[in-house]
Amino acid sequence: MAQVQYDCSRGNHPNVSNSTASPVGHEQIHLLLNVCKEAKKAAYCPYSHFPVGAALLTCDGKIFSGCNVENACYPLGICAERTAIQKAVSEGYVNFRAMAIASINFEDWEKKVIREFCFARLSLNYIATAFKTEVRVLPALTHADSPTETIFIRKNKPLKDPLSAFRWQGFKLEEYLIGQPIGKGCSAAVYEAAIPLSSNYRRSEDSKPLEGKSPDAQWDHGSVIHPAERKPIQTNQQRAAFPLAIKMMWNISAGSSSEAILSTMRQELVPASGSALSGEYGAVACHRRPVFGKKRLEPHPNIIQVIRAFTSSVPLLPGAYVDYPDVLPLSLNPSGIGHSRTLFLVMKKNPCTLRQYLSERNSDAHLSTLMILQLLEGVDHLVRHGIAHRDLKSDNILVEFDSAGCPWLVITDFGCCLADENIGLRLPFTSWYVDRGGNGCLMAPEVVTAIPGPGVLIDYSKADAWAVGAIAYEILGLCNPFYGQGRSSLESRSYQEDQLPALPDTVSFDVKQVVKMLLQRDPNKRLSARVAANVLHLSLWGENILVPKSLKLDKMIGWLLHQSAATLLMDGLVDRSRVETKMKTCFLANLEYEDLWEAAFLLLSWRNHSA
């Protein structure tokens, strides 16, 4: 991540000289970050499990480190900042230039601990804070309680958990109220759901065992279905009362044990939050993690977050006999082929899919560009974590709306993803039995044309970016060129770039070029999701620096500082759910110097060539 020095005026403190301090250099910042990360490893926090490391830079260039130390009454423990400061003060150092903090969060109590010493004798001119997923550069702390500003925003800020008020609930199917079906795919059904305010509710009197079965237990393939798990309460409450969506996987081949289900359906758990696996199912996952070898994805605003995951007996839900009778267990359908238990995933409910949204509304050019940009940000996040979705399509993209009605896109359905700790994004393709993904129509050329053999690898690093290029046609108001039949449809296996349909005149030149470069057959010529996203960011908000003769480093840094300040101001004064604010935050958080310059020069070269 690139870092920007924030030049702050120095506060006045008693007993401290007011000599001017020079800005902290990049090398010193990197050194501070490394020292505080090492100090964090020595943290003793058996009670809070919240390790923190700190590194303090004196005006003489000496660095003091510290970590948090707890005891049985851990609120009385010593925090990392206090440890580092006390070590320095005890050796006679009272003037300081910077402090770096390595942690997984940043709370007000950290600033209060530092400010407490500022009251007395310390002068902190710069504070560079390093987190697990972010870097912050903070201004000087003075005796006045001045607000703390942020230059680089948290990179992967956890999404708000709809179950935050039910911390220890939601790990059993019986705790949910199940509403009407929302959707159905090839491997699961999705229902609206909610957790009632009180868990002390009575089971519906209409819930009866199937005729001919014991009222105490029902059997299927040797697994007992307990009465308490048979059927969740259903209600006729209004749909607005269901803030959650619960996805019931269809279990045909995984068996009925939790371990077998986890092994078979582990890809569905890739976007699961840390608290999602805290129940019975999580205990299995934690003990077997090295065996299953699947990655877990860090939170991202454009990626769905599974907030609960558990196994339970398959219930008879609304529409089951009509929509998916064949995958029901024998206990519910004598001709069904499903097992008695399966995996349930709980997520926030979104209003619609991208396909549904596009079928009802025509977005203008600006909104369309923002939607394409969001998909690129989501795909880039996957690539950074060594994950390929492999089933991107408008049905697998959910839509939420911000306070201004702007669509916010969320990538969902990870059942076909490649998320292996051992192979990353390069899949050994040794035989035709190796699964290449789930969506044949939107399968990138290098994937669909691969021929198996010894040593053959399929590189998925730009495969999802290609799919975004195809979906962009739908977002921009046209039919997806890789769907349908007839002369107008194309196949990813054989198409040529000059066969791609022309985009409407209302689409900007920059967006047309991005879509064209995303759909290059040769992955070496294709844009990565990160560079493509940077191009759109610059096209939307960086026009003033895209002058050929004035594209210089100092101007780029000035523009980044301006964008940072503007984003912070908007984040504080405007609704934080606004799409543009979120997109600028993602851009600043994922900033890489080389990728940004590549995007800027690409834009300029395209425009010069067009002119």
Instruction: Say yes or no to pLDDT of 340 above 50.
Output: yes
Instruction: Say yes or no to pLDDT of 152 above 50.
Output: no
Structural domains in the chain (count): 3
Cα separation, 386 vs 198, whole angstroms? 41
Cα separation, 98 vs 410, whole angstroms? 39
Q: Helices H, strands E: what count in the chain?
A: 15, 17
Give the residue-averaged pLDDT of 200-206.
39
Q: What local confidence, expressed as pLDDT, does residue 67 receive?
A: 92
Instruction: Say yes or no to pLDDT of 405 above 90.
Output: no
Instruction: Say yes or no to pLDDT of 597 above 70.
Output: yes
Looking at the fold, whether 328 and 420 belong to one and the same domain comes out as no
Residue 254 lies in a domain: yes
Cα separation, 268 vs 253, whole angstroms? 15
Looking at the fold, whether 363 and 499 belong to one and the same domain comes out as yes
Burial of 214 (0-12, 13-18, 19+ CB in 10 A): exposed
DSSP-assigned letters across all residues of 384-421: HTT-B-----GGGEEEEE-TT--EEEEE---TT-B-BT
Residue 214 lies in a domain: no
Query: pLDDT band at 323, cuts 50/70/90?
Result: very high
Residue 84 lies in a domain: yes
Find the distance separating the first CA and the last CA of the chain, reported in whole Å.
34
Is residue 65 classed as helix, strand or coil in its secondary structure? strand
Looking at the fold, whether 390 and 255 belong to one and the same domain comes out as no
Question: Where does a domain end: 86, 119, 138?
Answer: 138
Q: What local confidence, expressed as pLDDT, does residue 590 receive?
A: 76
User: Is residue 203 within 8 Å of 180, Cβ to Cβ?
Assistant: no
Looking at the fold, whether 105 and 187 belong to one and the same domain comes out as no
Residue 161 lies in a domain: no
258: CATH: 3.30.200.20
Q: What local confidence, expressed as pLDDT, does residue 336 receive?
A: 92
Cα 359 → chain centroid: 26
State the residue range of the domain holding 332. 173-200+221-349
Look over the chain and give the mean of its residue pLDDT values, rounded to a whole number: 76
Give the residue-averaged pLDDT of 46-63.
83
Instruction: Say yes or no to pLDDT of 101 above 90.
Output: no
Looking at the fold, whether 471 and 599 belong to one and the same domain comes out as yes
User: Is residue 219 within 8 Å of 331, Cβ to Cβ?
Assistant: yes
Q: What local confidence, expressed as pLDDT, does residue 383 receive?
A: 96
Residue type, 475: I
More confident residue, 343 or 79: 343
Looking at the fold, whether 96 and 182 belong to one and the same domain comes out as no
Range picked from 192-206, 267-281, 374-388 for highest mean pLDDT: 374-388
Give the residue-averaged pLDDT of 443-453.
95
82: CATH: 3.40.140.10
Give the residue-averaged pLDDT of 343-361.
93
Question: Where does a domain end: 288, 315, 349?
Answer: 349
Question: Where does a domain end: 349, 383, 410?
Answer: 349
More confident residue, 569 or 124: 569
Looking at the fold, whether 605 and 542 belong to one and the same domain comes out as yes
Instruction: Say yes or no to pLDDT of 107 above 80.
Output: no
Three-class SS string for 152-204? Answer: CCCCCCCCCCCCCCCCCCCCCHHHCEEEEEEEECCCEEEEEEECCCCCCCCCC
Q: What local confidence, expressed as pLDDT, does residue 208 receive?
A: 36
Least confident of 40-49, 174-183, 528-537: 40-49
Looking at the fold, whether 359 and 342 belong to one and the same domain comes out as no
Q: Which of 108, 161, 323, 391 is catalytic?
A: 391
Give the residue-averaged pLDDT of 539-551.
74
Give the residue-averaged pLDDT of 165-172.
74
Q: Would you call 391 a catalytic residue per the annotation?
A: yes
Cα separation, 260 vs 272, whole angstroms? 18
More confident residue, 359 or 149: 359
Q: What local confidence, expressed as pLDDT, does residue 150 receive?
A: 33
Q: What local confidence, expressed as pLDDT, does residue 197 receive?
A: 66
Looking at the fold, whether 423 and 294 belong to one and the same domain comes out as no
Residue 12 lies in a domain: no
Give the residue-averaged pLDDT of 33-59.
85
Share of the chain above pLDDT 70, in %: 70
Looking at the fold, whether 292 and 418 belong to one and the same domain comes out as no
Looking at the fold, whether 469 and 595 belong to one and the same domain comes out as yes
Looking at the fold, whether 101 and 232 belong to one and the same domain comes out as no
Query: pLDDT band at 153, cuts 50/70/90?
Result: very low
Residue 154 lies in a domain: no
Instruction: Say yes or no to pLDDT of 138 above 50.
Output: no
Residue 143 lies in a domain: no
Residue 229 lies in a domain: yes
